[in-house]
Structure 1
């Protein structure tokens, strides 16, 4: 539902040295910051994970897992990736470290996969051994497959109990999101071995697949854990309008396509309903669409004025959105990086206190947002 107080503040771009990416300085409502280019020339980077030794992993949708070490992009990609397909919006998607990665070196990858029955979203578990993945095992596969190359979703997150949340899009076939015997269009909650989590909400319902945690979701491409409550927050793409932020709660139907604040890409209505009994309202929505992707709460010390704010990347609108929150509600909104002209694919809270960003292009970049000294 719309917020009572909606404040949009545009950021300005100052160039302190023409042509130098590292010297771009931006002004926002609460802080001045600059962007440092950590890596570039990545082919549609999709996700970022921070390793305990200070290096980072970056997925390229084109099917490569890359390492950034010592501030440099390692030339040779990580070997041993699972078989995947690069098609449309599909390819190598999210990378997420096991909560005990420092002990077990285990990580999880989401990606698109194809066989003679069509394409789908898979999750594989693997061990990172130097620059090679070993013991690669598929632990989740969304069924049934289909021939479309859209809406794979693929964002993942762990809760505090160590359960893995996996988002699966409606695959561009909207009615699948309300079919609870079809894995498309929802969030699945599984153990690290791929089994349905033991307290999932539909375990005793024969009409719902056991791994479902929520359904009625269109295409979730942002997911993060709230640093205080431990709740899993998400955002998802609407059609033309109706991009949503939601808190992922057990057994909830988020309504797609029965209710939406958006319209079809043709300009025709999808439904006249924006509310319906038994279906959740979004915490916040955008109309027109910003095409959100990537999301993180700010918890660092570099920008104390941003503590607790939620940051969301935008693909279509080419910006970073800062949302102010109070008692779990959005009370203010500021648009950042509007002068950068980049599609923001992922947003991560770094262990160094900086916000890290990925830009979506054939020559994508990894940026760090740091204060102006």
Structure 2
């Protein structure tokens, strides 16, 4: 059966058609827009990706992948997922469609993978969809080592456009010092080929004792990542501790400092590390004090909001806002925060749809997919 047929014939069971949000026009600094709910009653949705037929796949952290049609019909969960640890911050996390999906049909997803003796780590798998079932499942990456922790899994999946992808990984909270050594995947960005093999130009291939998948290191817990539409560079968003959330231009072989340099402090107070800057370590291009609890991020490149083109949008959990950052030559010139009053919900992810609109995921037990459209 062909991929187009699979998309057309997949079983869609309407759970509910989500009610629309208020039709009230929201005025921001550069655009007027409205919010509409595409789907609701999702269980802590985490990742969202689009299929060629206009439908979406959304992950629920409790361990489900659901298909959502363009008009908001939500399917029953797909079957065929691997074993997933659903504890603390762990569970089923991000999801992304292969850039060559029309030919190979692959969907990638990250999740908390169980290990021996109650250990776990972040893993990345790919599979194809046959009706309501995942088939041809392959686990193409597992974070090493597995540890006993229910926190700081990362993780965003971002395709670079050259046959490789990035996966952001947390430091696992209790192992933050691991972020400064190259013999583990804690607190790292990894870059692999889409089949899980290691690219020949990764920065640490010739470094003794280093894991070859590592792209950059010195990170805490990255839950946002995107490609700059003009430069092709990878940008990442990172949770600080108490304060110190970061935006970084994530480059090959660079040490981003955690936990040696940070703008954050220990929970309850107390200094972390040595300060804000240190030779050989890269400070963020932008940071927040206090923390927003940054999550997904995306550059806007569509035609529906011309005055937003080139801006970086950042979802936040704790602050319950959508931030728009004016970017020029790799610097943040201005920040605008939106939706704290109109929405008032934790925002897990923001992404641009193929239709040029922005889509949000809210992070609750009755989470929503929300679309931003111009008011006219």
Q: What interval of TM-score do these two structures reach, taking the shorter chain for normalisation?
A: over 0.9
**Pair 1:136–1:269, CA change in 2 (3 A):** same
**Pair 1:121–1:248, CA change in 2 (3 A):** same
Structure 2 distance, partners of 1:121, 1:213, is 16
1:48 equivalent in alignment to 2:48:
yes
Structure 1 distance, partners of 2:182, 2:273, is 20
Structure 1 distance, partners of 2:96, 2:82, is 15
1:342 equivalent in alignment to 2:308:
no
Structure 2 matches for 1:1-373, cutoff 5 A? 21-117=21-117, 118-172=119-173, 173-339=175-341, 340-373=343-376
Structure 1 distance, partners of 2:130, 2:52, is 14
SS at 1:254's partner residue? coil
Structure 2 distance, partners of 1:36, 1:136, is 34
Structure 2 distance, partners of 1:57, 1:20, is 20
Higher relative contact order, chain-length normalized (CA < 8 Å, sep 6+): 1
SS at 1:222's partner residue? strand
> When the two structures are superposed, what TM-score results if normalisation uses the length of structure 2?
0.92
Structure 2 distance, partners of 1:208, 1:280, is 20
**Pair 1:76–1:239, CA change in 2 (3 A):** same
CA RMSD in angstroms, aligned pairs only? 1.2
Structure 2 distance, partners of 1:104, 1:279, is 40
Structure 2 distance, partners of 1:36, 1:338, is 16
Instruction: Tell me the CA shift for residue 219 of structure 1.
Output: 0.6
Deviations 1:245-279 (CA, angstroms, capped at 9, x unpaired): 00110000000000001101121111241101100
Instruction: Tell me the CA shift for residue 20 of structure 1.
Output: 5.5
Q: Which moved more, 1:108-117 or 1:247-256?
A: 108-117
Structure 2 distance, partners of 1:219, 1:253, is 14
Structure 2 distance, partners of 1:65, 1:20, is 23
Deviations 1:76-111 (CA, angstroms, capped at 9, x unpaired): 111111221111000000101111001111011100
Structure 2 distance, partners of 1:73, 1:331, is 40
Structure 2 distance, partners of 1:141, 1:280, is 27
SS at 1:143's partner residue? coil
> When the two structures are superposed, what TM-score results if normalisation uses the length of structure 1?
0.93
What residue ranges of structure 2 are gaps of 5+ in the alignment?
1-18
SS at 2:79's partner residue? coil
Structure 2 distance, partners of 1:81, 1:154, is 18
Instruction: Tell me the CA shift for residue 75 of structure 1.
Output: 3.3
Instruction: Tell me the CA shift for residue 29 of structure 1.
Output: 1.0
What residue ranges of structure 1 are gaps of 5+ in the alignment?
1-18
Structure 2 partner of 1:13: none
Structure 2 distance, partners of 1:245, 1:151, is 17
SS at 1:71's partner residue? coil
SS at 2:177's partner residue? helix
SS at 2:302's partner residue? coil
Instruction: Tell me the CA shift for residue 130 of structure 1.
Output: 2.4
